[in-house]
Structure 1
Amino acid sequence: MSLWVDKYRPKTLAQLSYHDRISQNLKALSASGDFPHLLVYGPTGAGKKTRVYATLQEIFGSAVERLKIDVKTFTTSSNRKLEFNVISSPYHLEITPSDMGNNDRVVIQDLLKDVASTEQVDFTSSKVKHRFKVVVINEADCLSRDAQAALRRTMEKYSANTRLILVCNSISNIIPPIKSRTLLVRIPKPTIEEIGDILNMVAKKEQVKFNSNDPQAITSFLNNLAEKSDRNLRRSLLAFETISMQNETIPITNNSGPQLTLDWEIIISGIADAVLKSRSVATLAKLRDAYYELLAHCIPAKIILKTLLFNLIEKLGDSNVVPKLVELASDYDERLSLGQKSIFHLEGFTANAMVALES
């Protein structure tokens, strides 16, 4: 039994119900003989990966759904062996080099060189339509400068056999040479009404029951759900499925949506309260357990840092210390990209935030 977010994920560009102009442009690119390198960016939950796979489906057909996971072994310059997971189909590969930290350059150089050195041939038809293989690179904005430089050289040298699709949330960390060699495709957040329509469609197919038969009340409830999810379609679907599993009949009162505060968000809000209440070494020692708990539950360190900063800003209001906190968060966000132990940098930001607040 799959989650609704996977069960109802569109597989073709025609099935996507929002951003029609982007879908039409991607379809035109797929039909043309010259498919460029792409840099797909936009906020979390906007449907970037869904649109990328729908584009691959348009180019290669249903064969891109035959996925397998391979474990590749790479050797660094210090003779250290690294294992790296690669999701692949006969026509494409999907990798996340940033998982390897500062060793992402090794993955870029070795893996892409192997892929690009072999010519893609389609033996299933009498006429070869596409002689290139597509490599999807997730979290491209988290790649180190060395990895991006290696990526640029690969794009230049093996452009005949390889097409790259870079997926990221922001292009601010992407070096200009890569931007100039790719077609930038921005995927904005869907509107509240568009998410509401998708939730309504899922509710009908799953036969979700509400305590009201008023279509306007149901629509208002689903729109509120989308708004409280910050127009994040993935989060909206997951929250809606959770609510439907917890309630045999979903209650709708005063056309208001449910409270959508996640456990890890509550913990980070508690950390912000502790920093503002007591700025001491003892408080910092207690917060280490909270940070370890968040990291152990696979909450990314950068998400923890960003959420903590926003919580502090919200609780402080128009305080003069807010610009200093933003500057500190920017520094430690960069250090999280360069360092290995996330807990050190999270504690470092917390300690410096306490000093800034105290002064």
Structure 2
Amino acid sequence: MTVEQPWVEKYRPREIGDVASQGEVVKTLESALSSGNLPHLLFYGPPGTGKTTCALAIVRQLFGADLLRARVLELNASDERGIAVVRNKIKSFAAISVGASPAGRSVPPYKVIILDEADAMTTDAQAALRRTMETYSRVTRFIIICNYVSRIIEPLASRCAKFRFKPLHGTVIDDRINHICQVEGVQLGPDALCTLSRVAGGDMRRAITTLQSAVRLGGSPVRPQTLMDVAGVVPDAAARGLLHTCRESDFAGVQSAVADLIHEGYPAQEVLAEVQGAVLVDPGIDDVRKARVLERLALADKALIDGADEFLQLLAVASLTQRVILGQA
């Protein structure tokens, strides 16, 4: 039985030059690859912008498929984030000397360790990693990948060449999606491409995964509503309805509206993003009061990232919004 490969892996760029819309990063990395003198690297930026793809392309071009197992260690630091992993797994691999290059090939005399989602590592683990980087830099290079560079300790970040990956906007995602649709024989319905671009939010991986899921669910041509259902996008009407409730109802009504949103299964951060958009364009709220609501939205978003309860955070935002609209805050 043939198992179909996920499109996000099937269409992942294999060479560094094929990575979309990261021109400055690609140009600099290609120069480093041509010389074979690779420094420690730190890739940071939003999800789905090509960080891991670039790292895998680098080691593939450096060593070839036959040496990947011997020369490359790939770890997801969000799963293995403690100091024990650094002391055991990483240090053990980093200390091993490299073998001779295959006959007829010029291969750099070092190994590469890829640490994905390194911003999930504890501070102690990062400090231990810094020491390991210093000790074994002659035979081992590190590629550190994270979403939030502020969560990487400065002694570690300062030892790396830093590259920022930008969100993918404009025609970049559209061109890639059109290419995939052409190869896979998929048709896009009216406004489907625009909807997919909005749903992706600059995340190429999310765009491709959503497209494949929508094709499996609704077939071809792909309709905008199918894309929104698959992606779990909060409808614009939901955010406008919450603002209307804040304006016209009492606290009990607001609490009920928030509970309904949670019961519908919408992610709280998605709801906050839609509420932000609705507040910004609401003509009945002046700029000063909008600023108060947006400040509370930011606090709620940070709390959700740290693991706070979704219902309580949404209720706190809705309650403040109600008081701001009514002139009570």
Query: In which range does the TM-score fall when normalised by the shorter chain?
Result: 0.7 to 0.9
1:29 to 28, 32, 36: 32
Per-residue Cα deviation, 1:29-50 (whole angstroms, up to 9, x for no partner): 1222421000011211111111
1:310 to 261, 273, 276: 273
Pick closer, same or farther for the CA change 1:53–1:64 going to 2, 3 Å: farther
Tell me if structure 1 keeps the 8 A contact 2:112–2:140: yes
Pick closer, same or farther for the CA change 1:223–1:355 going to 2, 3 Å: closer
Instruction: State the alpha-carbon separation in 2 of the partners of residues 207 and 108 from structure 1.
Output: 46
**Counterpart residue number, 1:73:** none
Q: TM-score, normalised by structure 1?
A: 0.69
Tell me if structure 2 keeps the 8 A contact 1:189–1:231: yes
Instruction: State the alpha-carbon separation in 2 of the partners of residues 108 and 260 from structure 1.
Output: 41
**Counterpart residue number, 2:211:** 240
**Most deviating of 308-317 and 43-52:** 308-317
2:19 to 16, 19, 24: 16
Matches within 5 A, 1:1-359: 1-63=4-66, 89-100=69-80, 104-122=82-100, 124-125=102-103, 129-209=107-187, 221-250=192-221, 260-262=228-230, 265-266=233-234, 306-307=269-270, 309-311=272-274, 313-314=276-277, 318=290, 320-327=292-299, 329-330=301-302, 333=305, 336=306, 342=307, 349=313
Pick closer, same or farther for the CA change 1:126–1:19 going to 2, 3 Å: same
Tell me if structure 1 keeps the 8 A contact 2:13–2:19: yes
Please tell me the residue identity of whatever aligns with 1:150. Answer: A
Tell me if structure 2 keeps the 8 A contact 1:40–1:167: yes
Pick closer, same or farther for the CA change 1:60–1:350 going to 2, 3 Å: same
**Most deviating of 163-172 and 240-249:** 240-249
SS of residue in 1 equivalent to 2:42: strand
Instruction: State the alpha-carbon separation in 2 of the partners of residues 243 and 188 from structure 1.
Output: 26
Aligned residues: 306
TM superposition shift of 1:182 = 0.2
- For structure 1, list consecutive stretches of 5 or more residues without a partner in the other structure: 66-88, 212-216, 295-303, 337-341
TM superposition shift of 1:251 = 6.2
TM superposition shift of 1:62 = 2.0
Identity of aligned residues (%): 24
Q: TM-score, normalised by structure 2?
A: 0.74
Pick closer, same or farther for the CA change 1:110–1:345 going to 2, 3 Å: farther
SS of residue in 2 equivalent to 1:131: coil
Instruction: State the alpha-carbon separation in 1 of the partners of residues 318 and 19 from structure 2.
Output: 47
Tell me if structure 2 keeps the 8 A contact 1:116–1:162: yes
Tell me if structure 1 keeps the 8 A contact 2:210–2:227: no
- For structure 2, list consecutive stretches of 5 or more residues without a partner in the other structure: 281-289, 324-328
Please tell me the residue identity of whatever aligns with 1:245. Answer: R
**Counterpart residue number, 1:297:** none
Instruction: State the alpha-carbon separation in 2 of the partners of residues 210 and 305 from structure 1.
Output: 29
TM superposition shift of 1:239 = 2.2
TM superposition shift of 1:110 = 2.0
SS of residue in 2 equivalent to 1:59: helix
SS of residue in 1 equivalent to 2:26: helix
Pick closer, same or farther for the CA change 1:9–1:127 going to 2, 3 Å: closer
